[in-house]
Amino acid sequence: MSQLNDPDYVREQYATEGNLETRRSVWHPTADGLDPVNEALNAIDRALVGDAHILEVGCGTGVMAERINALPGVTLVATDFSERFVELTAVRGVDARPADICYLPFEDAAFDVVYAGWMLYHVRDPERALNEVRRVLKPGGTFVAVTNGNDHLAELRIAAGGKRDITQFSSETGESVLRRRFADVRRHDLGDPRGLR
């Protein structure tokens, strides 16, 4: 188990917004100007057919939730296991609730779309998490997941005395992890991602 998916470390990291805001502050769009958050929002938007129920897991401070909530015809529930992040997301006018992705408090087939942005690499049991996503998705629904590559900010990490982060759900491994649960997996790589989440 790496530090990144040690539940105690992850809970401590996200007990308050400071660490997430610091990570955000060193983030930049890719060299060709693509913003992965915009790309994720576009992927969600493309999946919508008429009115839709969307679940966001690991919503952080609710930045994306606010944008998803503004899409026409959308009913959104945003979840995170950090009570503080649920509070901050609710302030944005989003229906925000505490939940661990491994134990989603929703009925089977409740959502048209599930979105997980930069959070699956933190989950101790990704198989259980993906079973839960699969369970709450309607048949034919869409799961949009975003992650980083293993070389993400590696130079910066090494210069700071750290090492490359090899995670269980990275650009390198995410597609094969998802193929174990979903029949139709479409991968979209953005070049030169310099950001950190």
Ligand X SMILES: C[S@@+](CC[C@H](N)C(=O)[O-])C[C@H]1O[C@@H](n2cnc3c(N)ncnc32)[C@H](O)[C@@H]1O
Query: Which is nearest to 47 in space by CA: 177, 181, 180, 138?
Result: 138
Task: Considering the complex, state which of residue 2 and residue 49 has its C-beta at the smaller distance from ligand X.
Answer: 2
Bridge partners of residue 75, in order along the sequence: 53
Structure tokens at 173: 């491994």
Q: Is 60 in the site for ligand X (CB under 6 A)?
A: yes
Restricting to residues 15-44, name those near ligand X by CB under 6 A. Answer: 20
Q: Is 168 in the site for ligand X (CB under 6 A)?
A: no
Task: Considering the complex, state which of residue 58 and residue 149 has its C-beta at the smaller distance from ligand X.
Answer: 58
Q: Is 169 in the site for ligand X (CB under 6 A)?
A: no
Task: Considering the complex, state which of residue 83 and residue 140 has its C-beta at the smaller distance from ligand X.
Answer: 83
Q: Is 104 in the site for ligand X (CB under 6 A)?
A: no
**Strand (E) or helix (H) holding 130:** helix 126-136
Three-state SS for 110?
coil
Through-space distance between the first and last CA atoms of the chain, rounded to whole angstroms: 19
Residue 59 · residue 65 · CB < 8 Å? yes
Task: Considering the complex, state which of residue 49 and residue 188 has its C-beta at the smaller distance from ligand X.
Answer: 188
Member of 36, 77, 80, 111 binding ligand X (CB under 6 A): 80
Task: Pick the piece of the chain touching ligand X (CB under 6 A) from 97-105, 106-114, 153-161, 180-188.
Answer: 97-105
Residues in the chain: 197
Structure tokens at 51: 């009115």
List contacts with ligand X (CB under 6 A).
10, 14, 20, 57-60, 63-64, 80-82, 85, 100-102, 117-119, 122-123, 197
